[in-house]
Amino acid sequence: MERKRRSKMNIAIIHPDLGIGGAERLIVDAAVELASHGHKVHVFTSHHDKFRCFEETLSGLFRVTVYGSFLPRHIFYRLHAVCAYLRCLFVALCVILGWSSFDVILADQVSVVIPLLKLKRSTKVVFYCHFPDLLLAEHTTPLRRMYRKPIDFVEEETTGMADLILVNSKFTESTFANTFKRLHARGIRPAVLYPAVNVNQLNFLSINRFERKKNIDLAVSAFAILCKDKENLNGITLTVAGGYDERLRENVEYLDDLKSLAKKEGVSDGVKFITSCSTPERNELLSNCLCVLYTPTDEHFGIVPLEAMAAYKPVIACNSGGPVETVKSGVTGYLCEPTPEDFSKAMAKFIGNSELANQMGNEARKHVVESFSTQTFGQRLNQFLVDASYPKQD
């Protein structure tokens, strides 16, 4: 009775940059689903471009407030981590000083805000760890290792201060334990909360952001191998669509490199690059594709395979990381070694075999509805936050 009476909460969500990407999709889904459970939800961020964001952030279902957009993202293309910390700390400080207490604050990506948020003793803090940042950052030179050492230490210590830690897959859960050994020794264990897709509508297919770690060149090279049998592949094309920000030098350079690779492989005419499109255009892109390629290796989760399967499309992905938990190889798609040869063999199975694509697509949709719907995500997230805010007494 007590839990039921208090289950409607005032919830804050703190996220660094509310743009377009997998992490942002999760935050938007979290806000929408928590609001649907009757909670009052307020998202705080350091950047929200109303012309480059998910539509739900403009819908009025939850409030979005921006603090610190004037702060730099980098200093001469360096010190990205320090700038990210400063921006998030500024957002957290504004939340602490400018707003009344929240029952729960959900933060993600940057854990350094947790001790600041914990200053409000009546507020529980939940941290969603997409993947340990210290494993994503470069430690290639003595100077970079020296620069990262205090940042990595702070990441582990502040992450452990959260009242509840969530991760996006069992793969990330095991990586978390192996990476944050001090937390593991103290008995701190994260809970798994899979990201989700809205199974009631077609979703934007972003094969990947234009970043080198997304390994998009694997798709281009696999397509080139497939195209060697030109006699049987008339009209077959590859569309490479994904998140692209002109402010990010890596996005610009990597897109140029991918175009050069397509030209070198002799498939420029068959590869189309799309860096921005409307929601109807994205839905049409998804509905017209034969299958979806997902190329990152050891991806901590990966929302793209779920989006594809929700739209009745089979997925070809690398046999590592999150896709191992979401793609049922041979049923909803294929899990392959991260080589152009393996991907090409899987792609060839769908050529001229629409029955296989339809069969796997139907199984994919069923799989997502049963295990990864936003309703399931919302119910589990809601229970996690209620439990964190009102823990059972021993």
Residue 2 has a pLDDT of 42
Residue 277 has a pLDDT of 67
Residue 302 lies in a domain: yes
Domain check: are 378 and 351 in the same one? no
Residue 262 lies in a domain: yes
1: tokens are 């009775």
Residue 29 lies in a domain: yes
The burial of 162, by beta-carbon neighbours within 10 Å (0-12 exposed, 13-18 middle, 19 or more buried), is given as buried
* Residue 4 banded pLDDT, cuts 50, 70, 90: very low
CATH number at residue 384: 3.40.50.2000
| pLDDT tens digits along 244-279 | 878 888 889 999 999 999 999 999 988 889 887 666
Domain check: are 98 and 240 in the same one? no
Residue 304 lies in a domain: yes
Residue 317 has a pLDDT of 96
- Classify strands 191-192 and 315-318 as parallel, antiparallel or unpaired: unpaired
Residue 380 lies in a domain: yes
Domain check: are 299 and 383 in the same one? no
With beta carbons less than 8 A apart as the criterion, state whether 367 and 328 touch.
yes
Residue 205 scores a pLDDT above 90: no
* Residue 231 banded pLDDT, cuts 50, 70, 90: low
Residue 138 lies in a domain: yes
Domain check: are 344 and 377 in the same one? no
Q: What torsion, rounded to 10 degrees, do the Cα atoms 346, 349, 355, 361 define?
A: 10
With beta carbons less than 8 A apart as the criterion, state whether 199 and 310 touch.
yes
Domain check: are 384 and 354 in the same one? no
Domain check: are 341 and 257 in the same one? yes
Residue 216 has a pLDDT of 93
- Classify strands 104-108 and 191-192 as parallel, antiparallel or unpaired: unpaired
Residue 80 has a pLDDT of 80
Domain check: are 175 and 152 in the same one? yes
Residue 292 has a pLDDT of 92
277: tokens are 């499109």
Q: Nearest-CA neighbor of 226 among 216, 237, 217?
A: 237
Sequence-separated (6 or more) residues with CB below 8 Å from residue 154: 111, 112
Range of the domain at 73: 2-196+373-389
Q: Nearest-CA neighbor of 274 among 247, 240, 236, 251?
A: 240
| 183-196 burial: b if 16+ Cβ within 10 Å, else e | beeeebebeebbbb
Residue 5 has a pLDDT of 45
Domain check: are 217 and 183 in the same one? no
Number of domains forming the structure of the chain: 2
Residue 202 scores a pLDDT above 50: no
Domain check: are 86 and 177 in the same one? yes
Considering only residues 345 and 78, tell me which one the structure prediction assigns the higher pLDDT. Answer: 345
Residue 202 lies in a domain: no
Give the range among 37-41, 125-129, 327-331, 356-360 with minimum mean pLDDT.
356-360
Domain check: are 127 and 236 in the same one? no
| pLDDT tens digits along 60-74 | 999 999 999 999 888
DSSP 232: G
Q: Residue 298, by phi and psi: left (phi above 0), alpha (psi -120 to 50) or beta?
A: left
Residue 207 lies in a domain: no
Domain check: are 165 and 287 in the same one? no
Domain check: are 110 and 231 in the same one? no
